[in-house]
């Protein structure tokens, strides 16, 4: 592994609303830790990679999410390039794919359905209206709709922005938890998965009791279903202590645990790249 060239690809700035620094910093620190382990790291923007004539390196870690660059990275995989997270797993976080995969694999997830943004909502209970592809990039991408009229309004606003599909997800009351995870012990034998969680600050916390091990297990299972190795997400703890996953995404900012997480990510990546023989 010593001296091997490795690229890190930043997230697109429009995909980091309010998190531009945090997203860039976790990637930068991960690169520094990898350099300390002997890898030659070059950090690049997605714009620098798309259409580049430079030879692709043997290993890449990435936060980018847009179709154009993910398609290019997928074309490099048959050449033996090891990518974390794999482009296919990032695409699986697009909600139109994620909802179907979670349903097929029995992940504890609120009833959700894919709809046209040109349709009217007939929901009788409160729901969340979420754009069906990438995660939140601006106000209006994820909207709480307590009534059918509000849901229809949210759909119409998405349609007005040229977004053709949305996911309507039933609202689950309870305590909102955010979590982070690193590593797949199947891909890296002997790896001890790293997992942290915390309560979202902007809520009236009820303090429902729940099984923290069940939360970690549920999150890790969902990540495996999507193929994610570095991930974060959101879950609800209900009044009865059930843990319901409501979202999962690839490589979050890890802002509250940045120093610890960047070190662990780098250790995982070094082992992952070595295991892949790159």
CATH match of 111-170 with 2.60.40: no
Angle at CA of residue 243, ends 238 and 246, nearest 5°: 95
pLDDT, one tens digit for every residue, the chain (278 residues):
445 889 999 999 888 888 889 999 999 999 999 999 999 999 999 999 997 777 889 999 999 999 999 999 999 999 999 999 999 999 999 999 999 999 999 999 999 999 999 988 787 899 999 999 988 778 889 999 999 999 999 999 999 999 999 999 999 999 999 999 999 999 999 999 899 999 998 899 999 999 999 999 999 999 999 999 999 999 999 999 999 999 999 999 999 999 999 999 999 999 999 988 76
Instruction: Report CA-CA distances (Å) from 130 to 94, 99, 171, 239, 260.
Output: 11, 12, 12, 24, 32
Q: For position 139, what pLDDT does the model report? A: 85
Q: For position 3, what pLDDT does the model report? A: 54
| Domain 87-108+173-250 CATH class label | alpha beta
Q: For position 278, what pLDDT does the model report? A: 60
Assigned CATH topology for domain 5-85: Rossmann fold (3.40.50)
Q: For position 277, what pLDDT does the model report? A: 78
Q: For position 14, what pLDDT does the model report? A: 87
Two structure tokens written together for 38: 């002997």
Q: For position 104, what pLDDT does the model report? A: 94
Partner residues linked to 216 by β-bridges = none
Q: What does 198-236 look like in DSSP terms, one character per residue?
A: EE-SSS--------HHHHHHHHHHHHHHHT-SEEEEEEE
Instruction: Report CA-CA distances (Å) from 114 to 94, 145, 154, 163, 186.
Output: 12, 16, 14, 13, 32
What is the spatial distance between Cα 187 and Cα 198, in angstroms, rounded to a whole number?
27
Domain extents in the chain = 5-85, 87-108+173-250, 111-170
Q: For position 1, what pLDDT does the model report? A: 45
Residue 28's region, left for phi above 0, alpha for psi from -120 to 50, else beta, is alpha
Q: For position 159, what pLDDT does the model report? A: 96
């Amino acid at each position: 592994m010593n001296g091997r060239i490795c690229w890190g690809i930043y997230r697109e700035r429009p995909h980091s609303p309010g998190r531009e620094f945090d997203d860039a910093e976790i990637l930068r620190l991960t690169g520094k830790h990898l350099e300390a382990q002997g890898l030659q790291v070059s950090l690049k923007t997605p714009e620098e990679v798309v259409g580049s004539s430079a030879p692709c390196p043997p290993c890449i870690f990435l936060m980018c999410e847009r179709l154009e660059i993910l398609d290019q990275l997928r074309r490099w995989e048959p050449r033996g390039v090891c990518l974390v997270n794999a482009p296919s797993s990032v695409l699986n976080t697009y909600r139109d794919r994620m909802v179907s995969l979670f349903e097929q694999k029995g992940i504890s997830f609120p009833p959700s359905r894919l709809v046209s943004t040109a349709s009217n909502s007939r929901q009788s209970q409160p729901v969340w209206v979420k754009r069906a592809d990438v995660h939140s990039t601006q106000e209006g991408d994820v909207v709480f709709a307590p009534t059918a009229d509000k849901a229809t309004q949210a759909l119409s606003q998405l349609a007005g922005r040229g977004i053709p599909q949305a996911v309507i997800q039933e609202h689950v009351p309870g305590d909102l938890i955010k979590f982070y995870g690193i590593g797949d012990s199947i891909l890296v034998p002997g790896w001890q998965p790293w997992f942290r969680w915390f309560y979202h600050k902007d809520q009236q916390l009820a303090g429902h009791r729940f099984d923290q091990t069940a939360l970690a297990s549920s999150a890790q299972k969902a990540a495996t279903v999507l193929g994610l190795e570095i991930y974060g997400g959101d879950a609800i703890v209900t009044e009865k202590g059930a843990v319901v996953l409501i979202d999962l995404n690839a490589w979050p900012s890890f802002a509250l645990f940045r120093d610890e997480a960047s070190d662990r990510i780098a250790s995982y990546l070094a082992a992952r790249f070595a295991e892949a023989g790159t």
